[in-house]
Structure 1
Amino acid sequence: MLKQNETKTSMILNYRWLYDTVRKRFESDEAMEAFLPKALTPATLKQKGDDRYLSAMSQRVFQAGMQHSVVNAKWPAFEEAFWGFVPETMVMLSPEQIEGYMKNSSIIRHYTKLQTIPRNAQFILDIRQEQGCSFGEFIADWPSADIIGLWRLLAKRGARLGGRSSAGFLRLAGKDTFLLTSDVTARLIAAGIIDHEPTGQRDRQIIQDAFNELQQDSGRPLCQLSAMLSLSINPRF
């Protein structure tokens, strides 16, 4: 059961403590800032074509349960095999075409994951029709103060974008988000924000509230706060 204390009563998770703890891992302020991840600006997210979002979705789907470096090394071959992941083209992939990709040794031949490409293409096209804007604009305008709401939508309507994959996709796409890695979770537990691995929406909302307070105190994006929480547990991150 989660503790009901306010996040600010947890002295170990105030931003000053977090900054001082992480800063000790680096030789200089410049080294720390260079190490921390950077999110894309809303304007840049809006400029990206929706093919880049489908590519990032697909890449994250294939990363799940595999070494990311293996998937990343294969991704140029995926880009070529799937003609740049244009949603209007990918939504037309037939079962027979997907079956044909199982003979392509240049990509990772995982039939169930390959099936998500046309499904997620349809998801992107549906959002575009419903919202009257590009998928990039939709992602860019989603408030970081409710990033877990975007996770929830991706998990519900996307294919194989549940669990950590929703946040993983957003990180690949450049949208500001925190990640619930084992180190981040360990710090949240040590700080008394939660007392077990987060398993549901109530858990995630409490964590979102804690991140929102850290963001208000620091002015930093969620991705950097997430990295700092991880570094406070694991110096090698």
Structure 2
Amino acid sequence: MRSFAEILAIAAERKGGVDKVLAATQAPLGPEALAAIPADRWLAQMARGIFQAGISWTVVEAKWPGIEAAFDGFDIGRVSMMDDDRFEALLADTRVIRSGPKIAAIRDNAAFIRRVEEQEGGFARKVADWPAEDFLGLVDWLVKNGSRLGGNTGPYMLRQMGKESYLLSQDVVARLVAEGVIDAPPTARKARAAVQAAFDQWRAESGQSFNVISRVLAQSIG
């Protein structure tokens, strides 16, 4: 496995310099800033990712103000207690993307966040305190307890909210394969653990965040 510096050099040669490779990389928030984000914003970002899956992100962006209004600003209590009449009303509401499974997933995620808020000291606090070295564990926790947060939906939500994170895009996976970390997209736990170990090593040797490392890996291929 190459060092991070070697992979950065490959990306820089391909993209016209280190500055271009690192441009626009989203910096993670500190723990306290992350912990201060209200629960409704976590649900909103989950919902955005769920709605974006399989359709144009531009469509979701254009409809987003209406989606926010239709879901009562993603109020955790209201969405988690959605009854059948409210569910049917949303299915008929032209402001939203009218997918029953996606609307149900948003309701289920509201209940998930509400439970963590009530029983575990707060959803944002739990995410903020989760160690970066166990990012794999955080992703697994979201998949196990949430709804439709698998694949890159959960990690992308975390990235957008400000949690230090890596995304296993096609290009990132290709670089991991090239480095011998994995031999195919990582689905088995052993392969995913190998990915985490590789990111941990590059993070330790470079002092860079997972956000930067993920981008550099992608830029070294794509």
TM-score when scaled to structure 2? 0.94
Q: Which residues in structure 2 correspond to 1:141-160 (within 5 Å)?
A: 141-160=129-148
- Whether the aligned pair in 1 keeps the contact of 2:15 and 2:219 (CA below 8 Å) is no
Say which SS state the counterpart of residue 176 (structure 1) adopts. coil
Structure 2 CA distance for partners of 1:45 and 1:204, relative to 1, 3 Å:
same
Q: CA deviation at 1:90?
A: 1.2
Give the letter aligned to residue 74 of structure 1. Answer: K
Could you give the per-residue CA deviations for residues 133-159 of structure 1, whole angstroms, max 9, x where no partner exists? 221111111111110101111111101
- 2:150 is the alignment partner of 1:162: yes
**Larger deviation: 35-44 or 201-210?**
35-44
Q: Look up the match of 1:85.
A: 74
Q: Residue 136 of structure 1: which of 105, 117, 124 is its match?
A: 124
AA in 1 matched with 2:45:
A
Structure 1 residues without counterparts, runs of 5 or longer = 1-9
Which one of 107, 111, 117 corresponds to residue 118 of structure 1? Answer: 107
Choose the corresponding residue for 1:179, options 156, 163, 167: 167
Match of 1:96 in 2: 85
Q: Aligned match of 2:62 in 69, 73, 95?
A: 73
Question: Is 2:22–2:215's contact at 8 Å kept on the other side of the alignment?
Answer: no
Displacement of 1:213 in angstroms is 0.3
1:49 to 23, 38, 53: 38
Matches within 5 A, 1:2-17: 10=1, 13-17=2-6
Deviation at 1:66, TM superposition (A): 1.8
Q: Does 1:204 align with 2:192?
A: yes
8 Å Cα contact 1:37-1:227 kept in structure 2: no
Give aligned-pair identity as a percent: 34
SS for the counterpart of 1:39 is coil
Report the equivalent of 2:210.
222
Distance (whole Å) between structure 1 residues aligned to residue 142 and residue 63 of structure 2:
24
- Equivalent pairs counted in the alignment come to 222
**Structure 1 residue identity aligned to 2:221:** I
Is 2:174 the counterpart of 1:189? Answer: no
Report the residue type matching 1:196 in the other structure: A
Cα RMSD (Å) of the superposition? 1.6
Secondary structure of 2:174 counterpart: helix
Are positions 1:64 and 2:53 aligned together? Answer: yes
Taking structure 1 as reference, are residues 138 and 226 closer, same or farther at Cα in structure 2, changes over 3 Å only? same
**TM-score, reference length from structure 1:** 0.88
Distance in 1 of aligned mates of 2:136 and 2:63: 30
Instruction: Name the amino acid aligned to 1:167.
Output: P
Structure-1 residue corresponding to 2:96: 107
Specify whether residues 29 and 162 from structure 1 end up closer, same or farther in structure 2 by C-alpha distance, changes over 3 A only: closer
Contact persistence 2:68–2:74 (CA under 8 A): yes
How far has the Cα of 1:104 moved from its partner?
Answer: 1.6
Distance 1:233 1:70 in 2: 29
What one-letter code is carried by the residue in structure 2 that aligns with 1:177? S
Give, as a single letter, the amino acid of the residue that structure 1 aligns with 2:118: Q
CA contact (8 A) 1:45 1:136 kept: yes
